Amino acid sequence: MTASLEGSRPLLLEVQALLAAAFGNPRRTCVGVDPVRLAMLLAVLDRHAGVFALDQDVFVNAVGGMRLGEPASDLAVLLAVASSHRRQPLPPGLCVFGEVGLTGELRPAPRSDARLSEAARLGMKRVLLPTGPKQHALSARKLKDQLGVDVRLARNVGEALELAFG
């Protein structure tokens, strides 16, 4: 799940990925996700997380026909691909959002507080997001204390994979 902004309102959307053996040239099929960003995320996974999926067919879908147009959904797409590659599901009740850079670093998404609040309101029990300004730490503490949401912070793709699957 990811928290994406539609105008000024955060919406929780499910991101799915499937990797399959490629016969010939690997295909990239995206529904609701930018194929150019997917190609970049696959390269980042290979270079900075040791997840080699460039030789496989990759199918990515934003459930419900919505379009993930903002970079804040990068981390959700990346983790969905890693989940399929590992053949290990992500934990239920996990919501992630954040931009992924070419060096594997994670960048905070705008309006993180609104996204965090929406995730908590809709029953997410665990949130994974990039480290960032002090507001993150304050919001994380507030959500954990008031709503029982476990907020985990990661600096890079490797840490995000470890926190998501560990």
Interval 140-161: pLDDT, tens: 666 677 777 888 999 999 999 9
CB distance 96 to 128 below 8 Å: yes
Residue pair 108/130 in contact by the 8 Å Cβ criterion: yes
Residue 17 scores a pLDDT above 90: yes
The identity of residue 135, as a single letter, is Q
Domains for the chain: give ranges and CATH numbers. 2-165 (3.30.230.10)
pLDDT at 149: 85
% the chain with pLDDT above 70: 92
Instruction: Kindly state the average pLDDT of the residues 3-29.
Output: 94
pTM of the predicted model as reported, rounded to 2 decimal places: 0.93
Rg (CA), the chain: 15
Find where tokens 């959904």 sit: 73
Segment 33-86, tens digit of pLDDT? 999 999 999 999 999 999 999 999 999 999 988 999 899 999 999 999 999 999
Q: Read off the pLDDT band of 133 (50, 70, 90).
A: low
Is the confidence at residue 9, as pLDDT, over 60? yes
Show the tokens assigned to 72. 């804040």
Q: What is the pLDDT of residues 92-105, one digit of tens each?
A: 999 999 999 999 99
Q: How far is CA 115 from CA 2, 69, 143, 144, 145, in A?
A: 9, 16, 12, 15, 17
